[in-house]
């Protein structure tokens, strides 16, 4: 019998830019049929070529087989286990076929103060358009942010008629303190963090390498989520409070619907690409595994180097550069362009199957 287990070489994979950006699945069963992922529920059966998906978001009520996960991993597809419509991020996995170019670029930027400050300024510039932040220090940026955010809270308080006494929450437990409006803000922000986390992991970046925030495992998640709070979570929380809605679930569901309407997933990907990509870089360059070299940067893998004389010249096809004694160096190449999670975002939602009537036997 022929071996049906197919594993793609990075050169054989479709460019991420050519892929369907994301497939969101709820109340369905995922299996594999040859080189396709098959999604089945009571209503429909959908077959999607595995190498044409950038990220699969597995929502509530989803069951997936070992074969489907192996196929997705070999195809360079990210898999994220998320809450309803992606509003929470529980776990994620990337297969060995996915390149690390975006991660290398992010690490290069975050470990160099000059470049890190430039990215932080760009983030503040995206949040507060019309302000010149090109020469601002981090201290000045934080001060401007505080002023703008307080003004934003006051404006929405006047717009909705909801009383505002200031942001109140308990560090480490955002829902433990504060009034109804503060709890709505905390719930909406937590949902936004989950969405940003799923996208960041799905395109191969690190959630922990932040530019403004630092020290936390989700520092970059907090950076990216802050880009959208003024547009999404803050007005949403005030609107809900004005309607008398005060449950955390109300905030999560309202944010879910707002994100679906505005196609925020695609915008997050494009914004991350804009922040991390080098100007004029070839964002469609292939990403392949190589071997690090302390003098040459990187050399091709899959080569027997025992009979080779290492040249002082950089081999053709090698990437990267060695920093100079001053700590500066050429950045790693910009990775393949992340998929546009906009028009190509697909949602496949159950109902799943009939619930078995018999009670399952205990495991022990």
Q: What is the pLDDT of residues 198-238, one digit of tens each?
A: 788 877 889 999 999 999 888 999 999 999 999 999 999 99
Residue 340 labeled ligand binder:
no
Residue 180 labeled ligand binder:
no
**48 DSSP assignment:** E
Determine the distance from the C-alpha atom of residue 331 to the mean position of all C-alpha atoms in its chain, rounded to a whole number.
22
What span, in angstroms and rounded, lies between the C-alpha atoms of 277 and 297? 20
Q: What is the predicted pLDDT for the residue at 86?
A: 59
Please name the residue ranges forming H helices in 203-247.
Answer: 219-226, 233-242
Q: What is the predicted pLDDT for the residue at 171?
A: 60
Structural domains of the chain ordered from first start: 16-99+339-349 (3.100.10.20), 113-276 (1.20.120.920), 286-332 (no CATH)
Token pair, residue 296, equals 């040459």
Express each pLDDT in 327-355 by its tens digit: 455 555 554 443 333 444 566 666 766 65
Residue 14 labeled ligand binder:
no
Strands 36-40 and 29-33: antiparallel
Which residues are CB-neighbours of 14 under 8 A, at least 6 positions away? 51, 52
**Other Cβ atoms within 10 Å of 90 Cβ, number:** 12
What span, in angstroms and rounded, lies between the C-alpha atoms of 178 and 163? 13
Residues 264, 228 contacting (CB under 8 angstroms): yes
Residues 30, 64 contacting (CB under 8 angstroms): yes
pTM of the model: 0.68
Token pair, residue 92, equals 């994620």
Q: What is the predicted pLDDT for the residue at 354?
A: 62
**170 DSSP assignment:** B
Residues of the chain with confidence (pLDDT) below 70: 1-22, 54, 85-87, 95-99, 170-177, 278-289, 302, 307-350, 352-364
Question: Listing from the earlier edge strand, what are the strands of the sheet with 78-82?
Answer: 89-93, 78-82, 53-58, 20-26, 345-349
């Amino acid at each position: 019998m022929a071996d049906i287990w197919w594993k793609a070489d990075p050169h054989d994979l479709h460019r991420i830019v050519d892929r369907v950006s994301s497939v969101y699945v709820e109340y369905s069963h995922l299996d594999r049929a040859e080189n396709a992922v098959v999604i089945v529920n009571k209503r429909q059966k959908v077959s999607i070529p595995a190498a044409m998906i950038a990220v699969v978001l597995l929502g509530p009520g989803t069951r997936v087989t070992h074969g489907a996960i192996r196929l997705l991993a070999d195809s360079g597809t990210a898999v994220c286990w998320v809450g309803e419509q992606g509003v929470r991020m529980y776990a994620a996995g990337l297969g060995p076929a996915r390149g690390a170019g975006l991660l290398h670029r992010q690490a290069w930027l975050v470990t160099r103060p000059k470049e890190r400050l430039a990215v932080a300024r760009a983030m503040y510039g995206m949040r507060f358009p019309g302000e010149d932040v090109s020469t601002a220090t981090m201290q000045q940026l934080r001060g401007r942010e505080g002023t703008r955010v307080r003004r934003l809270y006051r404006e929405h308080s006047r717009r909705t008629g909801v009383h505002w006494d200031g942001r109140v929450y308990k560090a480490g437990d955002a829902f433990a303190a504060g009034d109804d409006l503060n709890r709505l803000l905390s719930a909406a922000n937590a949902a936004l963090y989950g969405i940003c986390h799923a996208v960041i992991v799905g395109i191969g970046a690190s959630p922990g390498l932040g530019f403004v925030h630092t020290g936390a495992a989700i520092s970059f998640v907090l950076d990216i989520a802050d880009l959208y709070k003024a547009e999404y979570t803050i007005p949403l929380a005030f609107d809900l409070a004005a309607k008398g809605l005060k449950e955390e679930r109300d905030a999560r569901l309202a944010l879910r619907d707002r994100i679906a309407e505005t196609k925020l997933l695609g915008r997050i990907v494009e914004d991350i690409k804009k922040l991390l990509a080098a100007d004029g870089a070839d964002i469609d360059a292939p990403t392949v595994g190589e071997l690090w070299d302390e003098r040459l940067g990187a050399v091709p893998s899959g080569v027997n180097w025992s009979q080779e004389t290492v040249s002082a010249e950089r081999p053709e096809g090698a990437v990267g550069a060695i920093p100079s004694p001053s700590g500066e160096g050429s950045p790693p190449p910009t990775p393949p362009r992340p998929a546009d999670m906009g028009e190509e975002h697909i949602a496949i939602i159950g109902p799943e199957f009939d619930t078995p009537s018999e009670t399952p036997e205990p495991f022990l």
